[in-house]
């Protein structure tokens, strides 16, 4: 699979890599990728970490699963590569950014530009079988990404954790709210967003106010 992870993350997560569950997870993922199409491509499984080293993290946006259709997943939650149509949730994210900050909808759904500014776009499960949402859940990824969240919460200060939807909001228990800002709302998917609570949450401007108040550069959404 040619999986590599950025050195600052490797150093902080080496204890997780040494645990039995991670060996079992690795064996499962290798088997899955060996016998059929899975996403993202193996070299992009840890893309969120490779684009956003530990010391650079300012914001964490938690998703659940990678996209499971061809050409969409590239290791960043909610993001799609250049040239791919915007999934419905991403459309609503961009609509809220426009309402909140006045920034017009971009021409690309590739959120690499966010990652390079310090936004960790973290899916709780980092791989998926083609056309089968949730197919790699409960195999160990959640234990790994929970450890990522706890490590960030304990070792850094003044992060913004953005939790959209019930699944992401369940991760609030892993975060020290006395050290970090936790922003929560319904999920941006049309089914949730259209019921109310997504549009007008102002998470993007609120994030930047908090970062600026703590001496950190705001995100250019």
Q: Is 110 labeled as catalytic in the residue annotation? A: no
Burial readout 48-65 (b: 16 or more C-beta within 10 A, e: otherwise): bbbbbebeebbbbbbbbb
The token pair at 65 is: 């699963």
Q: For the whole model, what pTM was predicted?
A: 0.96
pLDDT of residue 3: 58
Beta bridge pairs of residue 128: 39
Active-site entry in 55, 65, 146, 176 = 65
pLDDT of residue 175: 98
pLDDT of residue 195: 87
Question: How many whole angstroms separate alpha carbon 191 and alpha carbon 196?
Answer: 10
Burial degree of 2 (CB within 10 A; 0-12, 13-18, 19+): exposed
Backbone angles phi, psi at 66, to 5 degrees: -65, 155
pLDDT of residue 4: 83
Question: How many whole angstroms separate alpha carbon 156 and alpha carbon 176?
Answer: 10
pLDDT in tens, the chain (221 residues): 445 899 999 999 999 999 999 999 999 999 999 999 999 999 999 999 999 999 999 999 999 999 999 999 999 999 999 999 999 999 999 999 999 999 999 999 999 999 999 999 999 999 999 999 999 999 999 999 999 999 999 999 999 999 999 999 999 999 999 999 999 999 999 989 988 899 999 999 999 999 999 999 999 99
């Amino acid at each position: 699979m040619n999986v590599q992870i950025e050195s600052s993350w490797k150093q902080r997560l080496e204890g997780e890599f040494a645990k039995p569950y991670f060996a079992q997870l690795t064996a499962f993922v290798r088997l899955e990728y060996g016998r059929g199409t899975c996403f993202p491509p193996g070299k992009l499984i840890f893309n969120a970490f490779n684009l956003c080293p530990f010391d650079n993290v300012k914001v964490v946006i938690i998703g659940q699963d990678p996209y499971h259709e061809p050409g969409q997943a590239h290791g960043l939650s909610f993001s799609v590569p250049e040239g791919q149509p915007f999934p419905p949730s991403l459309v609503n994210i961009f609509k809220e950014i426009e309402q909140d900050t006045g920034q017009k909808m971009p021409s690309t759904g590739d959120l690499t530009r966010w990652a390079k500014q310090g936004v960790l776009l973290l899916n709780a499960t980092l791989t998926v079988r083609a056309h089968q949402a949730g197919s790699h859940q409960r195999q160990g990824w959640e234990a790994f990404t929970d450890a990522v969240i706890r490590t960030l919460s304990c070792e850094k200060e003044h992060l913004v954790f953005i939790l959209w939807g019930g699944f992401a909001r369940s991760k609030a228990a892993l975060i020290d709210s006395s050290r970090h800002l936790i922003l929560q709302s319904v999920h941006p998917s049309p089914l949730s967003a259209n019921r109310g609570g997504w549009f007008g949450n102002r998470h993007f401007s609120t994030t930047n106010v908090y970062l600026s108040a703590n001496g950190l550069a705001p995100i250019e959404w």
